[in-house]
Structure 1
Amino acid sequence: MSVPAGRLLAVPRTADTLPSLRELLTTAVEAVGGSERPGQVTMAEAVHKSIRTGEHLAVQAGTGTGKSLAYLVPAVRHAIESGRTVVVSTATIALQRQLVDRDLPRLAKALKQAIGREPTFAILKGRRNYLCLHRLDTGAPEEPDDGALFDPFAVSALGRHVKRLFEWSSDTETGDRDELVPGVTDQAWRQVSVSAKECLGKDKCPFGTDCFAERARAEAGQADLVVTNHALLAIDALQGYQVLPEHDVVIIDEAHELVDRVTSVATAELTAGMIGAAVKRCGRQIAEDIVDRLEEASEGIKEIFDDLPQGRLDDLPRPLEGVLRVTRDAAHACITALGPDRSSQDLESTTARRQAVALLEEIHDTAVRVLEAFDTDDAKRRDVVWLSSDMVGGNLRPPALRVAPLGVAGLLRERLFGECTTVLTSATLTLGGSFDALARQWGLPVEQRPSQKAEGTATDVAPPADNDIPSWSGIDVGSPFTHEKSGILYVARHLPPPGRDGLQPAFFDELEGLVNAAGGRTLGLFSSMRAARQAADELRERVDFPILCQGEDSTSLLVSKFADDEATCLFGTLSLWQGVDVPGSSLQLVVVDRIPFPRPDDPLASARQRAVEARGGNGFLTVAATHAALLLAQGAGRLLRSNDDKGVVAILDSRLATARYGGFLRASLPPFWTTYDQSVVRGALARLNS
């Protein structure tokens, strides 16, 4: 949306000249053709209070609450009253697009008369998400080799994608990658984009005045509301320079994904291909003997990585330590030889230097971080290090050494909660009946704080807090759905516990009976793609209903086919646990194959679990069970998407009923009516299907 040039000069309105929050909410709800819901009103009042008092807030708001309006209306009111920008952060592109393309335009028009002007909004992403006009003009530098370009088909596909990007560059108004449909590979996109470190800056770049990223930042700086993503929020906290516009309030939607997204941004990797690309970027800019040292480091890294077993590194092998020290010192020598930016350099030399330094600094800093990760005992370690190879597009990439933070609580507490008032919201924030699990991950004090119900909590006065301890409150505003009457939780207690050798015959018998009783209409959520494919193959032999499996086509197209045909079933893995919104009779059965604990060999989860235990805590409950509870709650949330929906969530893992941790997991699920009786649940599904 275009932002008036006078935005920063606008005179803020005082609270007594603005309509009340309740009046604005009523106006907004009427404008979008909705009806006011108790949970929505409670949430809006709680957000308004949080913004007013500066106390952080966590709000669990079930599907159908209308939480977007519940936080957007008080956010707009604060922006108009204070003259300051409010940042709204989301985890997914889908919610970003919903806010920018649907919710905010309608809200802005609805509130224009009441507040005296139309509120303004903008979307802002990291620089890598925008086309770089200078790179389009000069071409990309040598990219780190990920192994894919050994395939001639990958080379030709890359060329076709880059050609599309050049053609698209003359048509796009924003240069935003997400507006390119269909999309292109990451490898292709890197040819036409730059990181913040590679960017010349608008003053030096010949395309500075037309830069898509700079235009987006300028627009965001003048907007009342800025919509961004958790990754950019993390970059803003991690970097030493400001990325987001000046703001005093952040609203984090899809807050259950915040820790994972921040962790991803804070994760670094090192490969032989990166070092080889840095050698080529240095080119003739520095003395050959200095570059040779870096090239030798690349060869050493490749040799060592090929010899080491993959997985988490609990100790630093001496050969790896030696080659990391060589890599660190060689990268530093190259950076020193390149010297500082010089105004006398021509544009081509400045660009080449900037591109080389950006990659060299990444290599140097990652080597340093890995070396330092092993300097302390287990209880004090801050990072986890592992070696792994990823499968991308059917190609196995060369090994990469990765380093990630064991936790981001300290970072969030200092750089997010310590800087501005923060509201966190999602349909899933209470695990085991409490906010405590996620509060620990966010760096907020738990202090025996229970999961509060909505009644009376929106206006309660918070106890005084120490200046160093963030003050916060948590409320659950409930859901408009009557879970006990609309849904059944079926736990197949009679099945044997899942094993490590794939799905068992008894599982397929159980699944077949459920799918037949439901008449198709089944979303199968599996803990791995192997299990999803195995189930799809088996059920296609057993039932007459169409079975779609993730990976056979784009996920969006598969979900669309599933929604359009009531008899169709859709089986898949992680993205379906959180990304499917299919109201109506096409989805009446959600099946979960097993409790989604992290894999035992997951390097980050296992290291976090061990770190908790080293401090005397319960690592399994804190890490593995919390991870599983969050995913289970998200998966179960696929069932009821509108007031008329009815159906069954079937967990085909008997441990949910028999294991000691089962109570914690069940308390994290919506309050469905629960049964262990196979005949009862099949009968209920058959009646729905009749």
Structure 2
Amino acid sequence: MTPEHSQFHPDIVEAYRRLGESAGFGWRDEQVRLSQEIMEALLKGRVLCAEAPTGTGKSLAYLIAAIAVQGIREREGKDVMPIVVATNTVALQAQLFDKDIPVLTRMGFLGSDDMVLAKGRGRYMCLHEAQRIAGHPLRPIQRQEDLFGFGSEELDPRMPAEKRGAERLLGVWRAGAWQGDVDAWDGEPPAIWEAVRSSPETCIGEKCWAYEKACPFYSARRSLAGARIIIANHDMVLVDLKARRNGAEPVFPVSDYMLVIDEAHHLPSKAVEHAKTRIAVRDGLYLARQIAELAEKCAPLTPLSVLVDVTGWYQVLTSRKFTRVIRDLGGWLSNVFPDAGAGPYHRFAECPEDLAVLISEVTRPGWFISLTLKKVAHALGHVAATEPELARKLEVESLSLSAKLEHYLSGLKQFADQDTSVRWVGVETHDRKTQYTICTGPLEGAQVLEPDLFAVISRTVLVSATLRVEGDFSFFARRAGLPSSTRYLALPHIFPYEKSVLHIPRLGMRPPRDPQGYARYTALLAAWLSANIDPREATLVLFTSRQIMEMTRARMAHPLRAQVIAQKPRGHQSQVREHRARIDSGDGSVLFGVATLSEGVDLPGAYCRHVIITRIPFEHPNDPIREAVREHYGSEHFEANIMPEATRKLIQAAGRLIRRETDVGRLTLLDDRLLEIERVGRMLDSLPPFHRIADAAALSA
């Protein structure tokens, strides 16, 4: 070890030395330091919050740290506690698994079974549901090797589409050509997928014939048990933490784990979304009807009356009282909110007393019905083999209805609870029918993360390229609920940003707040873009509104308008591929996009020479939780929340320009508020150190 490397752990130094010799990776002090800090945090059981700018190599840094931690614990004779690495999305999981991990595996840092890709339950087919939809008996399927084209045979076109889709999936799985993972399906996910994917509401666990060996979900889940490193995503971690809090089956089949959260700036908002509840009042009526229909189906099974440990179970499941109290609840809401004319939602600081009484009148019989359904399901599992197929089918239906009913009742109860931070009633009118939803949510992610994450998993690392605002971690720390003992690390920029230009021209009009100003604003935008975009190169233009994007595109000068590729409402992969193909063929290309293109899109080198941000991405309080946050912070809301979040998003969007050390280009900010409002102009201080100019004449010179 050289003297300059003595500050780092020998295992970390050795890993980077081997990477340099065998894979051509250059030594970067910033990357090695990040590995060192992560290793120390995981070993010492503390929280680390680290900002690592683009180019640091954070993915490799935390993987090397995780490997080093496992090796050190093993040498010390300690149990090998698994490390969960959570990215923001499934796509980023796959990128990590396909790009960085193979390098480490080839060099012998990892064995083939040391690292496992974890996916949510909904990514896997439920064999039981597929059998039910296809009309097959609910019994084991014999898999066969695909020697004779099993699964590729023609299906009767007269067969109902849903049944035909289930038959196709079962056929390909039975032939061994597919393991039931939707991401491994050849082509677009089948239309039937939503109906056959695994879900907690339909899964009967150990009672299913497929549970032990065949079930795609449980087979994948068992593979996690022996893994040293589990590659997951934020959603899975949040579901796992909630399950552990509620005493339910966790996502990760381990008693404890260490945690590395990548793209951590998303975690607070993800936590808020996961904690929201949304209960459609009318769903209770559907459930009551389905439960009564189930009771009618169960009644002919004679032994059931003896086995169910509930007196008058049939009367409980067919009682009209539950339906009546749900109608009373809907009636109260319709009297208070006759239609959606007064707004799509109405917030309550507290649950009105008479509404709380109505909710109690729904939940009291509801919980008893749910308990009865579970006892009916248990009895169905012991019914004599006179009609085993029917009994098994009704058992699954009973458990599914019980789970749905408990979700319904829990949402109503949460609305009435005094500790609930934000509660509102949604009002929607369709075909002259008004529908009501009972909704709740936390004020900020900290209300979820403090008790569920940081109080439970002390060995946690949060890393991202954008965690600070104006050089300060406090905004993120407050939103995430980071403990006071958290260690903070901010690494310097890697890329030579000073070689690229930041241009802030004056458009002549501030972005309008209402649609009345859209016509003039988009005309000015279109004129500026038409005059200043070089049609021979790659340009990315980012908008905060799809409507503004489409209006601007329509007003652009014709020659350039033909070069514009506009992001579609669903996804952006195909537009990015088309953009890249144009550049590869030697043509220019202009890619128009909204928020999802402002982050996570990698267009290095010639694929992006000019990024134009048309508007500072200030959030507007257009939903109940944001309104509640605004009221909670009062006059401090703009400084405490709006400015920091807009600054973070601006940094993310600006980061689309420089993706590699050799990249150079231009970043243009087309928002006059940066020039006219001092506080807004200070946002520029949080951007990387571009060479800054403020007028078109200087740019052309």
Question: TM-score range with shorter-chain normalisation?
Answer: 0.7 to 0.9
Is the 8 Å Cα contact of residues 56 and 423 (structure 1) preserved in structure 2? yes
Counterpart CA distance in 1 for 2:180 and 2:434 is: 29
- Decide which of 263, 266, 269 is 2:278's aligned counterpart: 269
Is the 8 Å Cα contact of residues 90 and 254 (structure 1) preserved in structure 2? yes
2:269 alignment partner in structure 1: 260
Q: CA deviation at 1:231?
A: 0.8
Q: CA deviation at 1:554?
A: 5.0
Q: Decide whether aligned partners of structure 1 residues 237 and 554 sit closer, same or farther in structure 2, where only a CA change above 3 A counts.
A: closer
Is the 8 Å Cα contact of residues 140 and 192 (structure 1) preserved in structure 2? no
2:556 alignment partner in structure 1: 539
2:525 alignment partner in structure 1: 507
Is the 8 Å Cα contact of residues 29 and 35 (structure 1) preserved in structure 2? yes
1:658 alignment partner in structure 2: 676
Q: Deviations over 1:486-522 (max 9, x none)?
A: x22222345321112223432222222221x464522
Q: Deviations over 1:69-97 (max 9, x none)?
A: 10001101212333221110011222200
Is the 8 Å Cα contact of residues 109 and 118 (structure 1) preserved in structure 2? no
Matched residue type, 1:237: L
Counterpart CA distance in 2 for 1:70 and 1:37 is: 10
Is the 8 Å Cα contact of residues 522 and 548 (structure 2) preserved in structure 1? no
Is the 8 Å Cα contact of residues 339 and 428 (structure 2) preserved in structure 1? no
Q: Decide whether aligned partners of structure 1 residues 20 and 333 sit closer, same or farther in structure 2, where only a CA change above 3 A counts.
A: closer
1:24 alignment partner in structure 2: 15
**RMSD value over aligned CA atoms?**
3.3
Q: Deviations over 1:571-613 (max 9, x none)?
A: 1212111132111223111122211122332322222222223
The structure having more radius of gyration, on CA atoms, is: 2
* Aligned 1:393-472 pairs, distance under 5 A: 400-418=437-455, 419-444=457-482, 469-472=483-486
Q: Decide whether aligned partners of structure 1 residues 181 and 571 sit closer, same or farther in structure 2, where only a CA change above 3 A counts.
A: farther
Q: Decide whether aligned partners of structure 1 residues 484 and 229 sit closer, same or farther in structure 2, where only a CA change above 3 A counts.
A: same
* Aligned 1:549-588 pairs, distance under 5 A: 549-551=566-568, 554-566=571-583, 567-588=588-609
Counterpart CA distance in 2 for 1:136 and 1:258 is: 34
Counterpart CA distance in 2 for 1:280 and 1:658 is: 61
Q: Decide whether aligned partners of structure 1 residues 272 and 214 sit closer, same or farther in structure 2, where only a CA change above 3 A counts.
A: same
Q: Does 1:385 align with 2:406?
A: no
SS in 2 for 1:430: coil
Is the 8 Å Cα contact of residues 58 and 473 (structure 1) preserved in structure 2? yes
Is the 8 Å Cα contact of residues 328 and 363 (structure 1) preserved in structure 2? no
1:290 alignment partner in structure 2: 319
* Aligned 1:54-453 pairs, distance under 5 A: 54-82=45-73, 83-112=80-109, 120-139=114-133, 165-170=169-174, 171=176, 173-184=178-189, 188-201=192-205, 203-209=206-212, 210-239=214-243, 240=246, 241=248, 242-244=250-252, 245-272=254-281, 274-282=283-291, 283-285=293-295, 286-287=314-315, 289-290=318-319, 293-294=322-323, 297=326, 301=330, 304=334, 307-308=339-340, 309-314=343-348, 324-325=359-360, 327-329=362-364, 331-340=366-375, 343-346=378-381, 347-372=392-417, 375=418, 382-387=421-426, 400-418=437-455, 419-444=457-482
SS in 2 for 1:415: helix
Q: Deviations over 1:164-187 (max 9, x none)?
A: 6445544565423333354448x8
Q: Does 1:648 align with 2:653?
A: no
Q: Does 1:673 align with 2:673?
A: no
Counterpart CA distance in 2 for 1:121 and 1:37 is: 25
Counterpart CA distance in 1 for 2:364 and 2:577 is: 53
1:522 alignment partner in structure 2: 539
Matched residue type, 1:433: G
Is the 8 Å Cα contact of residues 221 and 246 (structure 1) preserved in structure 2? no
Q: Decide whether aligned partners of structure 1 residues 335 and 544 sit closer, same or farther in structure 2, where only a CA change above 3 A counts.
A: closer
Matched residue type, 1:175: G
Q: Unpaired segments of 5 or more residues in structure 1? A: 1-17, 142-155, 445-468, 685-690
Counterpart CA distance in 2 for 1:46 and 1:385 is: 43
Is the 8 Å Cα contact of residues 310 and 388 (structure 1) preserved in structure 2? yes
Is the 8 Å Cα contact of residues 545 and 568 (structure 1) preserved in structure 2? no
Q: Decide whether aligned partners of structure 1 residues 327 and 168 sit closer, same or farther in structure 2, where only a CA change above 3 A counts.
A: farther
Q: Deviations over 1:251-270 (max 9, x none)?
A: 00111111122222211111
Q: CA deviation at 1:348?
A: 2.7
User: What fraction of aligned residue pairs are identical, expressed as a percent?
Assistant: 25
Q: Unpaired segments of 5 or more residues in structure 2? A: 1-8, 74-79, 136-159, 296-313, 382-391
Matched residue type, 1:46: E
Matched residue type, 2:369: C
Q: Deviations over 1:321-378 (max 9, x none)?
A: 6764554345334324425466442333321111001110111011111223xx47xx
Is the 8 Å Cα contact of residues 389 and 397 (structure 1) preserved in structure 2? yes
> What's the TM-score, normalizing by structure 1?
0.80
2:508 alignment partner in structure 1: 495
Q: Deviations over 1:455-507 (max 9, x none)?
A: xxxxxxxxxxxxxx54222222233211121x222223453211122234322
Matched residue type, 2:180: G
Q: Decide whether aligned partners of structure 1 residues 561 and 334 sit closer, same or farther in structure 2, where only a CA change above 3 A counts.
A: same
Q: CA deviation at 1:299?
A: 9.0
Q: Does 1:41 align with 2:67?
A: no
Is the 8 Å Cα contact of residues 540 and 546 (structure 1) preserved in structure 2? no
Q: Decide whether aligned partners of structure 1 residues 301 and 161 sit closer, same or farther in structure 2, where only a CA change above 3 A counts.
A: farther
Q: Does 1:479 align with 2:493?
A: yes
Matched residue type, 1:206: W
1:465 alignment partner in structure 2: none
